[in-house]
Amino acid sequence: MSTLKYQSQAVAKPYFVFALILFVGQILFGLLMGLQYVVGDIVGGLIPFNVARMVHTNLLIVWLLFGFMGAAYYLVPEEAETELHSPKLAIALFWIFAGAGVATILGYLLVPYSTLAHYTMNELWPTMGREFLEQPTITKIGIVVVALGFLYNLGMTILKGRKTAINMVLLTGLIGLAVFFLFAFYNPSNLALDKYFWWFVVHLWVEGVWELIMGAILAYVLIKITGVDREVIEKWLYVVIAMALITGILGTGHHFYWLMTPEYWQWVGSIFSALEPLPFFAMVLYAFNMVNRRRREHPNKAATLWALGTAVMAFLGAGVWGFLHTLSFVNYYTHGSQITAAHGHMAFYGAYAMIVMTIISYAMPKIRGIGEAMPNRAQVVEMWGFWLMTVSMVFITLFLTGAGILQVWLQRLPESGEALSFMATQDKLAIFYWLREIAGVFFLIGLIAYLASFFVTEKEAEA
């Protein structure tokens, strides 16, 4: 029996379930790539490294988008105090998006990329071949159609209901997500110009509008689990997102250092990128402050742990590790090294994977009719999953950071003629890649524990 305040919130369930299925796929392809780094081809040429990487990164983006959509469908009706405008549209869009996503991933795996481009008539409107935006043009059009239907559904729900700061910040972030994705359709022939506008999608998503989505979801969960006055949490939310947008938008400049852009980007990018950790640090203070001031002891301990973990890991991954290589005179040596990979892994996990798992942890017991929280034993298993995944990600980040520092030392710092070649340097980094792979296995074990927690029933908990 559902324990939802509004029955239309249940449409979030397929989004959450499918997001977690794709998450498993992302991690499996990550482990495959980790082995390919040190062993070479281990699947008889069936999945080349470039294809595995494409699937790994695309699954990351798509499962997070499913998570965001599920979160919105769950929290918007409750915030607006009205049923979702059209649950049927939400379910239809789920199947359209899921079908397009699965077909695209199968296309990557089953035919050569150039053949996929030919089959999907990429020559009519060339948009393929760029990192994170490898999807065929027809898939990109499908994503836009799904986004428009999604925003219409949410917008109509908010229009007829209560307007809260959380709903408005969330909707602003989701509109920004859709708008900045439109730059994926612009593919100029000049490579520097192409990369310049490519960052309008990639950077302004992850260091711009996605932070609004994360902030809104975190604020919603904190209100529910702490009982702190909405006005207090909303004031913190406004401060955090204002800081995030100011530093994030101008911080785009740290991607413009080496694109033949005007020299002032060296200063603008460095200064505002150096300020980018501040909103994440404010988020840590905000989350812990709200939990310490809580007026109720919420039974969902796991959701509280995920909420606090999100703030801390987002600060470390996006804030601290972002700062490590964001100043132009440092980035000159570290650009595109394993230090970048270290930052990317912890930032995506800390800021976005964890916030999706936060809302899933809070919402799924209610959607499934269990109550406000899973049984205690299930929460213990889930928290084991939290710690295994989080500690593993810390080690993955540290090992990649070590690899990146050694890479810069051997390949980029020495004078010309003394520096090692790229491949010779990679051979020296093998120990770090093996350690990263081991940490990745423990991460997978943590993810399995997290998923297993959903299957611990009340009877098992009492046994």
Task: State yes or no: pLDDT of 143 exceeds 80.
Answer: yes
CA distance 90 to 11: 7
Distance CA 308, CA 328 (A): 32
The answer, yes or no, to whether residue 461 has pLDDT greater than 80, is no
pLDDT of 1 over the 70 cut: no
pLDDT at 44: 78
What is the predicted pLDDT for the residue at 460?
Answer: 47
Name the 3-class secondary structure at 186: coil
Percent of the chain scoring above 90 in pLDDT:
87
Where do the structural domains in the chain lie, given as residue ranges? 7-204+318-452
Span 309-328, mean pLDDT? 94
Query: Using 50, 70 and 90 to split pLDDT, how confident is the model at 293?
Result: confident
Segment 373-378 shows an average pLDDT of 93
**Alpha helices for 48-164 (secondary structure H):** 49-80, 87-110, 113-119, 137-160
Q: What is the pLDDT of residue 443?
A: 98
Flag whether pLDDT at 463 surpasses 60: no
pLDDT at 43: 82
User: Rounded to an integer, what distance in angstroms lies between the CA atom of residue 317 and that of residue 346?
Assistant: 4
| 233: pLDDT strictly greater than 80 | yes
Q: Which residues contact 445 (CB under 8 A, 6 or more apart)?
A: 388
pLDDT value for 105: 96
Amino acid 226 reads T
DSSP state of 259: T
The Cα 367–Cα 79 span in angstroms is 16
Task: Give residue 462's pLDDT.
Answer: 44
For 322-373, the pLDDT digits (tens) are 999 999 999 999 999 999 999 999 999 999 999 999 999 999 999 999 989 9
Tens digit of each residue's pLDDT (9 = 90 or more) over 236-268:
999 999 999 999 999 999 999 998 899 999 999
Report the alpha-carbon distance of residue 349 to residue 206 in Å, rounded: 12
pLDDT, tens digit, 9 for 90 and up, residues 57-72 = 999 999 999 999 999 9
pLDDT in the model for residue 7: 93
What pLDDT digit, counting tens, does each position of 182-215 carry?
A: 999 999 999 999 999 999 999 999 999 999 999 9
383-433 per-position pLDDT tens digit: 999 999 999 999 999 999 999 999 999 999 887 678 999 999 999 999 999
Q: Is the pLDDT of residue 459 over 80?
A: no
Q: Tell me how far apart the alpha carbons of residues 314 and 277 are, in angstroms, rounded to a whole number.
A: 9
Angstrom distance (rounded) from CA 34 to CA 37: 5
Decide: 387 and 309 in contact? Cβ < 8 Å.
Answer: no
Backbone angles phi, psi at 370, to 5 degrees: -80, -35
Q: Taking the domain 7-204+318-452, which CATH number applies?
A: 1.20.210.10
